[in-house]
């Protein structure tokens, strides 16, 4: 008898992203799930929010992705100055 459970993509994302503490890497992954619509509805505003929290914690990948959000207007209005700031910071 096989005791393995089939885990949905949504549950897998929750297991990866949520833990006892939300460190910068977990916040980045949550933002990534929202950005691509993995296990949730695609939502650039939510992606921006989680990338921003992670970026403020010093996560270079999140800082780069926040630059993308500002460059293309994903989740926030386009802002070249802020995009450059976050690209430079990453």
Q: Which of 47, 60, 50 is nearest to 27 (CA)?
A: 50
Euclidean distance between CA atoms 9 and 74, whole angstroms: 24
Q: Report yes or no: 74 and 35 within 8 Å, Cβ to Cβ.
A: yes
Confidence of residue 39 (pLDDT cuts 50, 70, 90): confident
The mean pLDDT of 54-81, rounded to a whole number, is 96
Looking at residue 12, its pLDDT comes to: 61
Euclidean distance between CA atoms 36 and 65, whole angstroms: 12
The mean pLDDT of 44-69, rounded to a whole number, is 95
Long-range contacts of 14-22 (CB under 8 A, 24+ apart): 14/39, 22/53
Task: Record the pTM.
Answer: 0.78
């Amino acid at each position: 008898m096989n005791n393995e459970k089939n885990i949905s993509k949504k549950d897998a994302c929750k297991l990866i992203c949520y833990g006892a503490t939300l460190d910068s890497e977990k916040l980045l992954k949550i933002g990534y799930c929202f950005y691509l619509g993995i296990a949730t509805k695609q939502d650039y505003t939510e992606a921006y929010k989680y990338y921003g929290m992670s970026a403020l914690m010093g996560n270079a990948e999140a800082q780069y992705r926040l630059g993308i959000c500002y460059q293309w207007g994903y989740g926030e209005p386009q802002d070249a100055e802020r995009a450059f700031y976050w690209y430079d910071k990453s």
